[in-house]
Chains A and B, each alone.
Chain A
Amino acid sequence: EAGVTQFPSHSVIEKGQTVTLRCDPISGHDNLYWYRRVMGKEIKFLLHFVKESKQDESGMPNNRFLAERTGGTYSTLKVQPAELEDSGVYFCASSLAGTRNYEQYFGPGTRLTVT
């Protein structure tokens, strides 16, 4: 069974540019999450989808970040325009429906560098 995949693995962009990150969850996982780790800090929650619906987007830093999950399969996270402080590793995770206490399976992350 394929795990959570993320694309690209690395992205280097200039301040002011736009970047779109993609996440493909494990097939059949209704729950999809985005997290971010800024260097030296802890991994922080950004938002949670159940199928195509946003359940909790309380961790989204500001309106420069837009997450979508059309059709309830893969998800994209767009940063527009990117700022220096957006640099970090963006993780995607997925879990089965109705499994609040169960494992979240993580992808390898996208390392974003804004220069």
Chain B
Amino acid sequence: ILNVEQSPQSLHVQEGDSTNFTCSFPSSNFYALHWYRWETAKSPEALFVMTLNGDEKKKGRISATLNTKEGYSYLYIKGSQPEDSATYLCSHGSNYKLTFGKGTLLTVNP
């Protein structure tokens, strides 16, 4: 993998459902993996910065895991709420420059 790839591109879930997305990134020259939450016309909000293989981080109902050897990270949202609707961006950090995936657009229906 040369670029950062995210799947799925978009996702519709019902309120209360749990969901997860995938980010794949180059496993060589790894520095850090960043997850951002972005609502249009607002600042992308940093969720997690992960640097170590096997890292697991949690913030409220959102958690993330990291596998640097195989080059992937999962983002989990437990009990989705309508306010979780946003684009979730994954980026691979290398020497300050962030390389982003296209994002996963999550829509949570009430």
Interface residues, chain A, with chain B CB atoms under 8 Å away? 3-4, 9, 31, 33, 35, 40-45, 48, 55-56, 58-59, 91, 95, 100-109, 111
Contact = CB atoms under 8 A, between A and B. Distances in A.
Contacts of B46: 103-106
B4 A42 contact: yes
25 contacts: A4-B43, A33-B97, A33-B98, A35-B100, A42-B103, A43-B91, A43-B98, A56-B97, A58-B97, A95-B96, A100-B31, A100-B32, A100-B95, A101-B31, A101-B51, A102-B32, A102-B49, A103-B46, A104-B46, A105-B43, A106-B43, A106-B45, A106-B46, A109-B41, A109-B43
Contact of A103 (B4, B49, B96, B100): B49
Interface in B4-56: 4, 31-32, 34, 36, 41-46, 49, 51
